[in-house]
Amino acid sequence: MVIPVPSHLKRIKERGYCHTTLIAKGFAQNLSYNFSNSLIKRKRHTKHMNKLKNKLERYKNVEEAFDIIGNIHTNTNLVVIDDILTSGATMQEIAKTLLKHNPHIKITGLTIACGDKFT
């Protein structure tokens, strides 16, 4: 199942859409994978990651920022889609949240672009 990194409702209202949902939905449709944007949500507004100075600030920014809102069945394979990977903080926090809810799932993170650290 393909899931997007969720945006906070405030950001969705600013943009008029959730960019990661559009990316993830297109990815899922092209590969005939299941898609869900109702599995995890951002429970609090976080600062823009590109405004933060270092890796520690990025990790603290997303700490406990996500909540599970759907059911995750044991042995589910999840593909988490984000736009840019810089420090890995968001992906790690989402993985931590998902695994805390159900430790018997497999998570793969995919991004469209990555920062210098990951090239």
What does the pLDDT average to over 37-59? 86
Largest CA distance in the chain: 39
How much of the chain exceeds pLDDT 70, in percent? 97
Q: How many CB atoms lie within 10 A of CB 83?
A: 14
Give this prediction's pTM.
0.89
Kindly indicate the confidence band of residue 34, based on its pLDDT and cuts at 50, 70 and 90: very high
Q: Which domain covers residue 102, as residue numbers?
A: 2-118
Total domains in the fold of the chain: 1
Q: What six digits make up the tokens of 109?
A: 């993170």
| pLDDT the model gives residue 81 | 98
| pLDDT the model gives residue 119 | 45
3: nearest Cα among 66, 81, 74, 75: 81
DSSP 28-59: HHHHT--B-SSSEEE-S----GGG--SHHHHH
Lookup result for tokens 């931590």? 96
Q: Where residue 55 sits, what CATH number does that domain have?
A: 3.40.50
Decide if pLDDT at 84 tops 70: yes
